[in-house]
Amino acid sequence: MRTHLSNLLARGPNQTTAFLPDPNVETLAETLVAFANADGGTILVGITPDGMVTGDVLSEDVEGVLAQALGLCRPPVATEWGQAELPQGTVIHIGVARSPELHSLADGRVLIRHGPENRPLSGDAIRQLAATKSSGDFETEPVGGATRTDLDDAVIEEYMEKRAERGRRPVSGTVDDHLVSIGALTPDGTPTVSGMLLFGQRPQEFLPQSGVVFVHFVGTEPRGKDGLAGYGRRAELEGPLARLLEAAWNIVWEEMRVGAVVTDLRREEKPEYPRFAVREALVNAVAHRDYRLSGRRVEIRMFEDRLEVVSPGGLPGYITVDNIVEEHFSRNPRIVAGLFQWGYIEELGLGIDRMIEEMLQHGHPAPEFKATPYSFSVTLRNVRERRPVPVWEQNMNERQMRALTHVREFGRITNRDYRAICPNVSAETLRLDLADLVDKGLLLKIGDKRGTYYILK
């Protein structure tokens, strides 16, 4: 447990970890509700925001505060807690599982975990989250007709090794005990949907919708000339999710154009699309798709001018195209956790903004996101003539890149435009962003007060 806590301390507060220096009833209740409504997590009491152990926390005090905090949660949140002795002092750890119910505080507020913060939700977002939770937790359902022998022991062993490396400690107990604890097996040993998808020998025999289809079209449209086939290569990919991701990446890489530039006598390969952006699109598609939708598989469509990754199922929870950069919610938290331990997901909630950043820094347009009730697609567009990335652009944050993209497209940007692009960022932060772009000599400020707007300098 000490090694696990040390790892949590090293990573700092994030989507699934919170630090509380002292046991405060209201803050603890808010964090319990936020974790239960999101992906679950661990609350460490006796830790300052910068990761220092206070050393003055008593378990009996925390127990009393936790009881009061749970009394403020509607309905109560399921928790497990204990204490650990670190060299710097005592730390209380409170585990919160993701809940199939929607939780609120006694005053009616509904919170969700957003990175290292607890964020309140608005009415529409609350209704959307409630609708998602009421649909049930499909990934925990047992797979009819499957037995423990349908799981691949070699794949499980690989996962256990990766998990031990990431946690820097071996997993205690038997392998099957661990599979039960992560929801891959039911207590009676039946594989669940998440267990079959992560570790199955032939998952598509039980869940045929879990495969991936790759198609490389010869032009910019999904059809050929004169009624002929419009694609140069088509492949159907199968296997557990880790193998699916490897196969999908390999086939995209094989079909991707790779150029080269020579700098200081060194040859550097320049792929058609940034590696991280492609990987993130593929991982998100298999991790967050709605596996209840039978008859529909993840589709990867490569065209002359773009790469499309289409995932069955609309956006999960309260996520929309407008807030997808700032917010995080997993439809399949156990699958996401498994891919995280495997190393396919670096840190929860940080992939979309980095995908945008990578595309812009490589001279491409930002990714395009499109959501319907039954599908979500990511489109990466390529640019044949790539421009070098100036030093000043490398030092911009993702919001500022989006602001410049807006100016290039519409000729100007106002404070109201910027707030619409980044709706969950404070007005002062956005004002400082624009002032910084002016200071860098990229934008020119025109007008004053309400009539202010910015253009390219």
**Residues 385-394: pLDDT tens digits?**
444 445 555 5
Q: 309, 90, 294: which is closest to 193 by C-alpha? A: 294
CA dist 367 and 22 (Å) reads 42
Lowest mean pLDDT among 85-99, 238-252, 376-390: 376-390
CA dist 379 and 356 (Å) reads 11
CA dist 372 and 370 (Å) reads 7
Cβ-contact 16, 39 below 8 angstroms? yes
Beta bridge partners of 85: 90
Higher pLDDT, 387 or 309: 309
Percent of the chain with pLDDT over 90: 47
What pLDDT is recorded for position 311? 95
Higher pLDDT, 137 or 234: 234
Token look-up 């499109």 returns 370
Tokens of 99: 């809940």
Helix-helix angle 333-342:153-167, to 10 degrees? 70
What pLDDT is recorded for position 423? 83
Rg (CA), the chain: 24
Q: Is the pLDDT of residue 320 over 80?
A: yes
Tokens of 392: 């000043």
Strands 79-86 and 89-96: what pairing?
A: antiparallel
Provide the mean pLDDT of the chain. Answer: 87
CA dist 117 and 5 (Å) reads 20
249: exposed, middle or buried (C-beta count within 10 Å: 0-12, 13-18, 19+)?
middle
Strands 89-96 and 443-446: what pairing?
A: unpaired
Max avg pLDDT among 293-307, 374-388, 414-428:
293-307
Tokens of 316: 């999960």
CB atoms within 10 A of CB 1: 14
Band of pLDDT at residue 75, cut at 50, 70 and 90: very high
pLDDT digits (tens, 9 = 90+) for 168-195: 667 778 999 999 999 999 999 999 999 9
What pLDDT is recorded for position 227? 53
What pLDDT is recorded for position 441? 83
Q: Is the pLDDT of residue 310 over 90?
A: yes
Give me the domains of the chain, ranges plus CATH numbers. Answer: 2-122 (3.30.950.30), 140-203 (no CATH), 209-381 (3.30.565.60), 391-456 (1.10.10.10)
Band of pLDDT at residue 397, cut at 50, 70 and 90: confident
What pLDDT is recorded for position 270? 76
Q: Which residues contact 360 (CB under 8 A, 6 or more apart)?
A: 366, 393, 398, 401, 405
Averaged pLDDT for residues 318-340: 85
CA dist 236 and 395 (Å) reads 41
CA dist 414 and 421 (Å) reads 11
What pLDDT is recorded for position 406? 87
Band of pLDDT at residue 18, cut at 50, 70 and 90: very high
Give SS3 for 389. Answer: coil
What pLDDT is recorded for position 166? 80
CA dist 419 and 150 (Å) reads 51
CB atoms within 10 A of CB 196: 28
pLDDT digits (tens, 9 = 90+) for 206-248: 999 999 999 999 888 887 655 556 678 899 999 999 999 999 9
What pLDDT is recorded for position 185? 97
Q: How far is CA 167 from CA 1, 74, 185, 391, 398, in A?
A: 11, 33, 21, 36, 30
Averaged pLDDT for residues 26-46: 94
